[in-house]
A and B are shown apart, each in its own frame.
Chain A
């Protein structure tokens, strides 16, 4: 575990302008009274391994759904590569295939094979006839095979998804997202139900792919330690507000928020959480 040293740091404010995701003053509500998110500001650099940490109900899953256009904010603006995410926006529809999204439920199709599940990631590149007849072009099959071996599922291509273990299902979901050749990878609590060893295997897998493909990975966790271990930056969400944004530089943890928040207290809170 990294030594936790809190330092107020301003060097990180000289951030490059290469922002892939920008959210400013984003509010969302399920009804008109209760807000899931209350004025979130986020800006994420291209190629970052970004983590969002918070307890259940804090609004962190909502953040991901806003980024892939499944939800729209009731107030505020979001830009993904300068496009407003919304499933009904034509411009955004064209870039949806570049955003890999792994929901907490994984969203695998249970009755089809591992290979077919992964091929779903390539569907936006295939013609209607090819995809309806399941006639996949050779280079796409090779790409799928490469990703299958990357995620460690070789030999299980023809298994039906419902026959897989929890860890294997997560590997399929990651492979499906990678098959999209994404720029952004969104993952919602992908390791929270796994044992420590498997969780680390899966996280290493994603970190490896993130570096290799220069992805912007945005992962939601409830375990602060895991987030700090793998992410370059961690945002802490509580009751729909971002209360802390920290960065990891070598062994140091740097606070990005200008105000002097009760950082240590929060760190302790999450340290306690993960021991349980």
Chain B
């Protein structure tokens, strides 16, 4: 450890202390508040099993919302990513598309949900639209970065044959960038299920609607049922997407031998 590093660490620690003072982040208050948490936990432990079917149904609704949002969002994002890739377009095409995508990403999904609740009213549809917007912003960004990272040799060689841009995309760009795509869609779905679970906070449907309302009425036992269902679902989706990734994505990596079964 050099003296220079010590100084940098000292400065960072000092900044954390000053910032904590400014925003009233007081560790003593945290310690004093712990007994309150115990009360909540105690109430949560009195789980009411008769709400499990409702919770499962609400979760199913949430997953469907996330599914539609992911599929529709990706379907819109893919063509946009082709226009946003710097190695396929002139500046006059990719710059505005990128600006649009950046603007879409600026809003977190919960703010999109508020906007859509205003637009189409309370309910699951507003939530679906919010997830669509969020997915467009992120999948398009991940995908245009994947397109820009593809090997330029086949792009140059195939361009020199005199193929059209659509043909180039179909035969070089999509095959060379698709190995990332499945992985990205899985990640996005996984993430969207979690996000959709909280969209109910602003009245955009899904399981979050139940959680926020039970918490508002201090019915922690009922809220706990719904939260446990979310936790279990997220763990299951995580496990399933790891399996899918292992099966389809690792195999398609370049140079890996594919074992015959």
Contact = CB atoms under 8 A, between A and B. Distances in A.
Nearest to A113: B175
Given A109-B175, A112-B171, A103 B157 contact: yes
A57 interface: no
Interface in B130-180: 151, 153-164, 166-167, 170-172, 175-176, 178-179
Interface string B166-196: 1100111001101100000000000000000
A102 B160 CA distance: 10
B160 A99 contact: yes
Contacts of A94: 162
B161 A128 contact: no
Interface stretch (A39-47, A116-124, A224-232, A268-276): A116-124
A115 B170 CA distance: 15
A128 to B, nearest CB: 6
Is the interface on chain A under 10, 10 to 19, 20 to 34, or 35 or more residues?
20 to 34
A218 to B, nearest CB: 14
A87 B159 contact: yes
Contacts, number: 82
B167 A123 contact: yes
A101 to B, nearest CB: 5
Nearest to A131: B167
Nearest to A124: B162
B33 interface: no
A180 B255 CA distance: 28
Which of B155, B161, B163 has its CB near the most chain A CB atoms (within 10 A)? B161
Interface in A77-118: 87, 93-97, 99-103, 105-112, 116
A107 B153 contact: yes
Contacts of A103: 153, 156-157
A123 B163 contact: yes
Nearest to A177: B161
A70 B171 contact: no
A180 B153 contact: no
B50 interface: no
Contact of A108 (B154, B164, B170, B252): B154
A120 B167 CA distance: 9
Contacts of B259: none
Contacts of A99: 160
B261 interface: no
Contacts of A70: 156, 160
Nearest to B157: A107
A31 to B, nearest CB: 20
A20 B255 CA distance: 40
A54 interface: no
A59 interface: no
A109 B172 contact: yes
Contacts of B155: 107
For the residues of A in contact with B, the DSSP-based class is: mixed
Interface in A153-192: 162, 180
A106 B157 contact: yes
B175 A111 contact: yes
A210 interface: no
Given A107-B153, A111-B175, A162-B255, A128 B159 contact: no
A69 interface: yes
Nearest to B253: A162
A253 B163 CA distance: 40
Given A110-B176, A116-B171, A132-B170, A124 B156 contact: no
A49 interface: no
B254 interface: yes
A187 B252 CA distance: 30
A216 interface: no
B135 to A, nearest CB: 24
A68 interface: yes
B169 to A, nearest CB: 9
A111 B164 contact: no
Contacts of B175: 109-112
A95 B160 CA distance: 10
Contact of B158 (A95, A107, A111, A126): A107
A110 B254 contact: yes
27 contacts: A70-B160, A95-B162, A96-B161, A100-B161, A103-B157, A105-B153, A106-B153, A107-B155, A108-B154, A108-B157, A109-B171, A109-B175, A109-B176, A110-B151, A110-B154, A111-B175, A111-B252, A111-B254, A120-B158, A120-B161, A120-B163, A120-B171, A123-B161, A123-B171, A131-B167, A131-B170, A180-B161
Pick the 5 closest A-B CB pairs, nearest first.
A107-B157, A96-B162, A105-B153, A111-B175, A97-B162
Given A106-B157, A109-B158, A111-B176, 12 more contacts: A68-B160, A94-B162, A96-B160, A101-B157, A107-B153, A107-B154, A107-B158, A109-B171, A110-B254, A120-B163, A132-B166, A180-B161
